[in-house]
Amino acid sequence: MMPEPILDIQDLRTVFRIGGRDIAAVSDLELSIAPGETVALVGESGSGKSVTSLSVMGLLPKKVGRIASGTIRFRGKSGVTNDLAQMDGESLRRIRGNDIGMVFQEPMTSLNPVYTVGEQIAEPIRIHLGRSHKQAAEDAVKLLADVGIPDPARRARQYPHELSGGMRQRATIAMALACDPALLIADEPTTALDVTIQAQILELLAKVQAERGMAMLFVTHNLGVVAEIADRVAVMYAGRIVETGPVDQVFAHPRHPYTKGLLRSVPRLGEATALKRAGTPLPTIAGSVPSLANLPQGCSFAPRCPYAIDACAVAVPALVDAGEGQLSRCIRWQEL
């Protein structure tokens, strides 16, 4: 039997009130994560990846963003399952930082510049676990050591601007892990880092996940990172998941034209030089992600899709079983 998922999202629709109308940033989203599993959420900028993670965390901008429908069932460390979409702000605050940790994309904007790194890591330990200031400070130093920061006692007394980009990101990971969460959400945590530091952060996340057995939702646009860290992948486009399945299977046999286009667009060693000599441009996906305020009728990807036919513009395709654990939102997936 499959274990009960830590996170189970069904029919999620998140909207933003813009110009007097509700614009759906996420529609019909279904996603689940099992204990100890890493699921990657990928797609171009504007696909709805970060809005999905903010919906789970209850951090949508007030008066503008809201969950219009759907459920976000989350099983916390206590074993109790709650629908996060129905919880009030105070209840969500008890879960954020305790049962769910989050690593944000840019550590310099997610760390408070007027508090030391140690104080910021110790704060959720005091609030959620009820530790004294001294105990929390000691735990903060230990967490900094756990994420590979040298001389952690000294670094805990420093301010964010005194740390390098890689160290700041490690500090935000330490903060997210402070209360031993059941679920870690990593929203493009390696985007602002060079490739060497990026590899170290990925190795660190894999290590702490294996040690703690937590589930992880990894938001990224980098398919190389997905191959490195994820068990399953969900591909988003224009607010909807268009394909999902085991990473190896999806990468080897994509069942949606958008996934196929993303994989073809990944630069490979020596390919650019060979294409340049042949006078052939690098593979790309024509066009751009459509405005969520003015989505095309039917399949949102149809205007950019080389496989599109008239039937693609009739209705939004359903997410159907494409075999081998894959789901595809394409009426021509068999022909792919």
**Dihedral sign (CA 107, 108, 113, 117):** positive
Return d(Cα 138, Cα 146) in angstroms, integer: 12
Residue 311 pLDDT > 60: yes
Residue 110 or residue 154, greater confidence:
154
Statement: residue 275 has pLDDT above 70: no
> Is residue 26 one of the residues assigned to a domain?
no
Has residue 276 got a pLDDT over 80? no
In the structure encoding, which two tokens stand for residue 59, read together? 């951090």
Q: How many domains are there within the chain?
A: 1
201 band by pLDDT with thresholds 50, 70 and 90: confident
pLDDT above 60 for 1: no
Q: Structural domain of residue 172, as residue ranges?
A: 106-178
| Rounded CA separation 97/93 (Å) | 8
Average pLDDT over residues 203-217: 90
**Is residue 4 one of the residues assigned to a domain?**
no
**Rounded CA gap, 219 and 221, in Å?**
7
- Residue 296 CA to residue 45 CA, distance in Å, equals 18
Condensed to tens digits (0 to 9), the pLDDT of residues 20-54 reads 999 999 999 999 999 999 999 999 988 999 999 99
Whole-number mean pLDDT of the chain?
91
pLDDT at 108: 74
Report residue 187: phi and psi, to 5°.
Answer: -95, 95
Backbone angles phi, psi at 12, to 5 degrees: -70, 130
Tokens of 52: 């999905």
Give domain status of residue 69, yes or no: no
pTM (2 decimals)?
Answer: 0.92
- Span between the terminal Cα atoms of the chain, in Å: 32
Q: Which residue has the higher pLDDT, 286 or 185?
A: 185
Distances in Å between the Cα of 177 and the Cα atoms of 45, 101, 117, 174 are 27, 6, 14, 5
Cα dist from 322 to 24, 244, 256, 260, 330, whole Å: 27, 10, 10, 15, 10
DSSP category for residue 12: E
Q: Does residue 299 lie in a domain region?
A: no
Residue 193, pLDDT > 90, answer no
Task: Give the tens place of pLDDT for each residue, 65-99.
Answer: 999 999 999 999 999 999 999 999 999 999 999 99
Q: How many CB atoms lie within 10 A of CB 325?
A: 12
Q: Answer whether residue 111 is part of any domain.
A: yes
| Per-residue confidence (pLDDT) for residue 2, from 0 to 100 | 62
Quote the pLDDT of residue 27: 96
Q: Is residue 9 part of a domain?
A: no
Asked whether residue 161 is assigned to any structural domain, the reply reads yes
Q: Report whether pLDDT(100) > 70.
A: yes
Quick: pLDDT tens for 133-143: 999 999 999 99
3-state secondary structure of 15: strand
In a domain? residue 97: no
